[in-house]
Structure 1
Amino acid sequence: MTRRPIGYYVHHHGAGHRTRANAIVAAMDWPVTLLGTGIGDAGIDLCDDRPCDNGFDGIDNAATRPDCLHYAPIDHEGVRRRIARMAQWIADHRPALLVVDVSVEIAMLARLASVPTIYVRLNGDRGDAAHCDAFRGADALLAPFHQALELPSTPMWVREKTCYFPGIASVLSLDVPNTSRVLVVMGRGGPPGDGDRIALAARACPDLQWRVIGPVTPPSNRPSNLDLAGWVEDPMREIAQAAIIIGAAGDGLVGAVIAADKPFICLPEDRPYDEQRATAQRLDALGAAVVLRNWPSVDQWPTLIRKAQAIPSSVRMALNDHNGAQRAGQWLTRRAANATGTLEKVA
């Protein structure tokens, strides 16, 4: 029997959605088609739906937008074409499931097109009408974090519908870690790092080698123990090779740091629905990371690094699952098999 594919929608804001999708799909024995802007030859490349001014935050602020939607701008050619392309793919391929990571609009489109959805639920205060409708309409919810990181205010009906899969962004490396390397990770979802501020921090810790991956402004006076690597091909390997990580509280980075069992200094950034602050709050409450509200003064860095290094490995490992991607892939495979009546084919 031909297996009807799983569609996997990948949001294009930040890099974590694609990283997560790649890890899960690689662990699956089921045909999967990626759909998203910037996918290229890896799947179905959808037209960009972002405004021309690049001020995209996933909310259109339109007075006439229904409460069940976040982003539905009027007379946007990119939005029109991407919705048409997805609807045509659904009609042609009759997917067994559509995994949505993340977009309440795509979840609604799938439901209207009679496709069962698995909604990837990120952390944060997502009790607004649009998120609640997407959660309610989904067959199940996938949380790419440990249940212990769940925001206490999350409603019980949402928790009961959620399967938690920590450790999806696994980190594997045969290299011996550099015990003197501090790795500063800057992602795609926020502003570039402040090079001058990082340079001062590196200068305050002359016995450590500082390395920055991701976008950062050039420092006016770069010390010899600071390396600005820019974008790298394998950030997971960089994390595995470091002694301590400094970065924000996005699901992708937090998952990778925990999987690699690295001391973590966490500086959550502003995101819609307080996603990063919710995760950072739980990391702090569990004693799993050094969490800061703001970039610290220069003289604090040596103490902060020692404090992060003193956190027991067991605290981080309690939040990890080395088989997270495999478990998520197997779970999706079973749901696709049940949806298409081919369970005996994948048993």
Structure 2
Amino acid sequence: MIGYYIHHHGRGHLSRAVAIARALELPVTGLSSLPRPAEWAGDWLALPTDEGHAALDPDAHGELHWAPLGHAGLRSRMARIAEWIDRQQPRALVVDVSVEVGLLARLHGVPVVTIAMPGRRTDRAHVLGYAISSAVIGAWPPAATGMGGGLPPLDERLHAVGAISRFAPAEPRAPAPPAGPRRAVVLGGAGGDSFTSEAIGRASAATPGWDWLHLGAHGTWVDDPWGALLAADVVITHAGESAIAEVAAARRPAIVIPQPRPHDEQRSAAEVLAGPDWPALVLPEWPADGWPALLESASQLDARGWQAWNDGHGAERAAAVILAASRVRSAA
């Protein structure tokens, strides 16, 4: 049996976990303070939250990310994970993402597979978390070398498996001439973004040949944006890994606007996406004007280039890495 720790911020960690769990040959137990999703097939260990009040020395003098002294929620959370490890004896624990949970599992003699995140992650806590991992998975293609540019050297333990999406990739299609109003889909996220209704309204008013649809926390939230993505002529999105994976699966040209995140996560991803290999225009912020030209330029990109980013087999390759790490068992 495999354990899978799922961070509770945003929705990208959860959607990635669901895709990887489906591809694994072993039973998978989810560990999270998020509610169990309906599509999760295995067991689910509900964890207490570790948030809620002022924190004392939360980073352990710079050695960790979140381990505040005297925090009852953190204590209960870690105790519940430790008790579960002792009772279930998992073959490996996938961590997406928490250095502290990874350390807890490794101190119990459980192989740890860490899901890496883009960004500048050379702080002591990240270096420690990667160092104790049996394997590290990057959900980006090997050609996107800058996505893991902030990772410490990991030799053969780092596996770039390709993007991981909830959706099977669509058939690639070349740009087509417009027939009636075209569709611009704004794909916001649960983690917050600068895609306000006012800004989108101004962009819509300036582009009369386009219909705009705003999905996300500040627009219309939908759990399944797949149909809207397939119908889009251009997708305007943040640079979160799951959002890019789903745009790539839909094979739609994109305008990518990275949002502020710790460790420059989205800015680092956007730097890679600005390269010539990917069908995306990358902007530093939401532009106040110029939308007719931007949408026209983006619509002419050949979105078949997303094939190299998301070929639909990232979850399977991640599962293979996890299974390999799980074969290391104690003799006791």
TM-score class, shorter-chain normalisation, is: 0.7 to 0.9
Q: Does the C-alpha gap of structure 1 residues 134 and 103 become closer, same or farther in structure 2, counting only changes over 3 Å?
A: same
Unaligned runs of 5+ in 1: 54-59, 217-227, 342-347
Deviates more, 1:97-106 or 1:317-326: 317-326
Structure 1 residue 83: deviation in Å? 0.6
Partner residue in 1 for 2:176 = none
The residue matched to 1:49 in structure 2 has which SS?
coil
The residue matched to 1:91 in structure 2 has which SS?
helix
Q: Say whether the 8 Å CA contact 2:193–2:238 is kept in structure 1.
A: no
Amino acid at match of 1:146: P
Is structure 2 residue 52 aligned with structure 1 residue 89?
A: no
Instruction: Map residues 99-178 of structure 1 onto 2, 5 A cutoff.
Output: 99-151=94-146, 153-154=149-150, 157-158=153-154, 160-172=156-168
Amino acid at match of 2:161: F
TM-score (norm 2): 0.88
Partner residue in 2 for 1:223 = none
d(CA) in 1 for partners of 2:50 and 2:226?
29
Q: Does the C-alpha gap of structure 1 residues 246 and 78 become closer, same or farther in structure 2, counting only changes over 3 Å?
A: same
Amino acid at match of 2:259: E
TM-score (norm 1): 0.84
Structure 1 residue 174: deviation in Å? 8.4
d(CA) in 2 for partners of 1:193 and 1:10?
26
Is structure 2 residue 301 aligned with structure 1 residue 311?
A: yes
Q: Say whether the 8 Å CA contact 1:123–1:150 is kept in structure 2.
A: no
1:38 to 34, 39, 56: 34
Q: Say whether the 8 Å CA contact 2:137–2:161 is kept in structure 1.
A: yes
Q: Say whether the 8 Å CA contact 1:185–1:214 is kept in structure 2.
A: yes
Structure 1 residue 166: deviation in Å? 1.5
Is structure 2 residue 285 aligned with structure 1 residue 294?
A: yes
The residue matched to 1:321 in structure 2 has which SS?
coil
Partner residue in 2 for 1:285 = 275
Q: Percent identity?
A: 34
Structure 1 residue 61: deviation in Å? 8.2
Amino acid at match of 2:282: V
RMSD after superposition: 2.5
The residue matched to 2:275 in structure 1 has which SS?
helix
Q: Say whether the 8 Å CA contact 1:193–1:215 is kept in structure 2.
A: no
Amino acid at match of 2:288: S
1:192-213 deviation line (CA, Å, top 9, x unaligned): 6311110011111122111111
Amino acid at match of 2:24: M
How many equivalent residue pairs? 316
Amino acid at match of 1:75: G
d(CA) in 1 for partners of 2:226 and 2:67?
35
Q: Does the C-alpha gap of structure 1 residues 259 and 191 become closer, same or farther in structure 2, counting only changes over 3 Å?
A: closer
Partner residue in 1 for 2:200 = 198
Q: Say whether the 8 Å CA contact 1:172–1:240 is kept in structure 2.
A: no
The residue matched to 2:83 in structure 1 has which SS?
helix
d(CA) in 2 for partners of 1:36 and 1:241?
34
d(CA) in 1 for partners of 2:76 and 2:258?
35
Amino acid at match of 2:82: A
1:125-149 deviation line (CA, Å, top 9, x unaligned): 1011100111010001011111232
Unaligned runs of 5+ in 2: 174-178
Q: Say whether the 8 Å CA contact 2:169–2:310 is kept in structure 1.
A: no
d(CA) in 1 for partners of 2:312 and 2:134?
26
Is structure 2 residue 52 aligned with structure 1 residue 51?
A: yes
Partner residue in 2 for 1:231 = 221
The residue matched to 2:163 in structure 1 has which SS?
coil
The residue matched to 1:157 in structure 2 has which SS?
coil
Amino acid at match of 1:193: F
Q: Does the C-alpha gap of structure 1 residues 187 and 94 become closer, same or farther in structure 2, counting only changes over 3 Å?
A: same
d(CA) in 2 for partners of 1:174 and 1:253?
15
The residue matched to 1:9 in structure 2 has which SS?
strand
d(CA) in 2 for partners of 1:70 and 1:129?
9
